[in-house]
Amino acid sequence: MSVALSNVPGELHAEIAAYLDMVDEGRRAGRPAPHELPVAQARAEFEAASRSLPPFAPPCTVEQVSPQVRHGHLAARLYRPEPAGAALPVLIYLHGGGYCIGSLDSHDAVCRQLTISAQCAVLALDYRLAPEHPFPAALEDVRDTWDWLQEGGLALGLDPARVALGGDSAGATLASVVCAELAATQEAKPCAQLLFYPAVDARQTSESQELFAEGHLLESATLAWFYRHYAEQPAQRRDWRCSPLLAEGQLRGSAPALLLIAEFDPLLDEGLAYAEHLREQGVVVQSRLCRGMTHDFLRMAGLVPEVLEHYEQAAAFLRRYW
């Protein structure tokens, strides 16, 4: 499915437009785009940009935990509302960053806001990144963390029977794929999935990839750079676990999904198409085109207060299925 973008009216939110102007000024002054940098420098630049965003994180309790996975242990943060009740429902949250950048720090405010909005625990996972750990390493980390939580969640004051998966951008893709993998097993299954502007088609052939190729925060060239590091071989990019929009039946039985899709985003077309693809495979889907928003808007609540409405929508969705 593709959307006729010329028939989608709208304009950028004024505060986001001003922020993009500032980013453009930096480019004109010689600041390179992520795809023009070595990976280590791109990560450092992303963290610095994250720290420069206006704060909005509400207070909550944060604990460092170490999920056991097949190769050892991962760093993770467990967020809880104050005061925390017993046997809290849990959202496993996976940060965006094209499988190559991003961290627990870059998405700390997102996890805090989700914790407070949904009054749940949020387990943020520092999954392995490419190119050091290419496809499917991150998926393995998420699946192993699910198993770890099912086995030891009660000891942490969490309810293993009420667990959702969610993420933004690449993190949303990881969440959705693991939901589909679990649906095909006899194991416990997620209650819901939160998918914020997911990256679900590594072929990069949509109209929105061309229309919003530059100047809207995520650039198509940067997306291509991410995929080169994450899934170097063309066959890997056609694997449904890398491009779930290409799934042929593997999504059936997946947990109910909420998709929030940004209007001014190279990933617009594939996000809209993925909502329909899930529906066609029998998944309960609620989707929303977020007008005036760009990719990564979830981290802009300190800049654009209206973003908090999207957190509330996500919280309401979770409450419905917990």
Active-site positions? 169, 265, 295
Asked whether 128 and 141 are in contact (CB, 8 A), the reply is yes
d(CA 10, CA 30) in angstroms, rounded, equals 31
d(CA 16, CA 5) in angstroms, rounded, equals 20
The two structure tokens encoding residue 12: 């950028």
d(CA 283, CA 178) in angstroms, rounded, equals 14
d(CA 229, CA 225) in angstroms, rounded, equals 7
d(CA 254, CA 198) in angstroms, rounded, equals 16
How many residues in the chain? 322
- Tell me whether strands 88-94 and 121-125 are parallel, antiparallel or unpaired: parallel
Return the closest-CA partner of residue 37 out of 234, 202, 226, 212: 226
d(CA 11, CA 304) in angstroms, rounded, equals 15
